[in-house]
Amino acid sequence: MKTIISTFLIILIFIGELICQDTKEYRIPFLGERATSFEAQSTMGQINFPADYYGKWKILFSHPADFTPVCTSEILTLASMQEEFEKLKTPVIVISTDGINSHIEWVKSLESIDYNGLGMQKIKFPLVSDINLEISKKYGMIEAYSGRTNNIRGVFIIDPDDKIRAVNFYSVSTGRNFEEIMRTLVALQTSDRYSVLTPANWNPGDDVMIPSPSSIEEAEKLKAKKDPSLRQVTWYMWMKTL
């Protein structure tokens, strides 16, 4: 009996190790980690990421599948905001596990749709084909335990040094809020540019925060400066008007 139990446990351990080895391929990159590089075919030709976009902010989006309703609403909404992203000097790249021919045909279809009163949209950003799942696994965009091979709705905001600064994942049933993605991008750019922080529910144009003084004495020194752009909430919380 002991031999049977021992054999069973060994089999369970072996299966567990196999699962762990397989799911290691699906690791989501950490904040501050350098964006994993890849080369792939897109609707705008070969992409070498992130090298083609070095020195720029960029956003990598993943979506589950071409010719699906929620994804169509997302891509058309994203297309309607292209000029805003261009003003922020932030290219956007979209990726899924569909083939390049599917992407091309879907783009043609998208450009003939007036969704939600946005008008006809020209898709000016690349749709990357990851039919072999190589990129999606590197970015953890595949649900490792679901058995599915299509992407979740992922968002990676990457800075000019190719470091990942924000990651958001959404269920396949839930469309993304692109205004929130834009808000996050502007918040990150603002923090980097002015060495400030952004509080809860911050929107562009709102007051920001400065890093906390290290002591009450340091806070008193800030108060003594009588800087009209600064407003004390408590000794460790200071608002700043840009």
Closest CA to 167 of 36, 39, 56, 29: 29
Residues 57, 89: contact at Cβ < 8 Å?
Answer: yes
> What tokens were used for 115?
């969704």
Q: For residues 65 and 103, what is the distance between their CA atoms, to the nearest angstrom? A: 9
User: What torsion, rounded to 10 degrees, do the Cα atoms 117, 121, 123, 124 define?
Assistant: -120
Are residues 49 and 37 in contact, defined by beta-carbon separation less than 8 angstroms?
yes
By three-state DSSP, how is residue 226 classified? coil
Choosing from 35, 40, 71, 142, the catalytic residue is 71
DSSP string, 49-67: ETGGGTTS-EEEEE-S-TT
Tell me if residue 71 is catalytic. Answer: yes
Phi/psi of residue 133, each to 5°? Answer: 70, 10
Mind telling me the catalytic residues?
71
